Amino acid sequence: MNEKGEEIKVVQTEKLYEMLDLIRRKPNMWLTSKSITSLQDFLNGYLMVRWNDESLYNPGDSSFADFVLWILEKGEWKFTKHNVFSSILLDENNGDEEKGFDKFFEYLETFINGKGKSIL
């Protein structure tokens, strides 16, 4: 319980897309701000630590790398080491960090639904 007497709920997940759903619902709980750059920074660290973790995805889930490539193809961007998804989404949303964040999750839902199931 916290100092107000409220029960504290511990949230645990090992799956990337479940973690992203938690972030989508309460971004300020997980990120420094509701921004595409903060999300990119979080995911860079999260995926760096778990890069070889087989439990990162549920069976049948597409990889996050496939999603990023899908974003690149959608915008007809040429893949380079400098084309991180946050830069692309910032550009698409005229530098608006929060709109870029929202667009990320819009694209993710479209990508997942295109694969036949919804996780968000």
Determine the distance from the C-alpha atom of residue 99 to the mean position of all C-alpha atoms in its chain, rounded to a whole number: 14
pLDDT, tens digit, 9 for 90 and up, residues 94-108? 999 999 999 999 999
Question: How many helices and strands (H and E) does the chain possess?
Answer: 6, 0
CA geometry: angle 73, 79, 82, nearest 5 deg: 130
Q: What's the length of the chain?
A: 120
pTM over 0.85: no
d(CA 37, CA 31): 10
pLDDT tier for residue 118 given thresholds of 50, 70 and 90: very low
Q: What is the pLDDT of residues 48-86, one digit of tens each?
A: 888 777 788 888 888 888 888 888 877 666 555 555 788
**Is 16 a residue whose pLDDT tops 80?**
yes
What is the domain partition of the chain in residue ranges? 16-114
